[in-house]
Amino acid sequence: MSRQKALLDRCETVLAGVQWLSIFTASVALVVLIVTFGWLVFGRYVLNVTPTWVEQLALMLICYIAFLGAGAGVRSNTHLGVTLFRDMMPFAVQKVIIVFIDFVLTVFGAVMFLAGTELMKFGWDSLLPMLGVPESFRTLAITLCGALIVLHAGSRGLIRILTYRSWTPTSIALET
């Protein structure tokens, strides 16, 4: 049992690192967004020359901020959820529902990843106006979010199956 616990602890450490990297990248994108809008205001009102590339960069950065934040939020359960009906069920049914939800999220993330990959292939030849980079750089955020959802929800579902017998009503209440 201690070998399984050590493996689960290593998995949790890796997943926490991936989540940290996602949030850090989204935070850097937010800082860059704020700085570029500061440059836009300075250029427009002080230099009297509006930098036109800021709008396209802002759209791309907002995609990364939103999608990376959403992918990281799956791991920490920060998304809105309605648990009223699940909480009314007997404890054994609650355990099954929680694992089922993880695998539904994993399938959703896989579909998002595959659709994002198709969008990236489709947009590789067209360039973003004013930036000169492929459109695929914007849709990469969707693909990354799908991969993060698969990683976090899928691993959480597997970990829950492996630790299924040790669950208590208190541990479920604290976790969700």
> Residue 91: what pLDDT?
87
Reported as a single tens digit per residue, the pLDDT across 124-176 is: 999 988 888 999 999 999 999 999 999 999 999 998 888 877 777 666 554 55
Residue 8 in this model has a pLDDT that exceeds 90: no
Partners of residue 134 on adjacent β-strands: 127
Residue 38 in this model has a pLDDT that exceeds 70: yes
Task: Give this prediction's pTM.
Answer: 0.88
> Residue 175: what pLDDT?
59
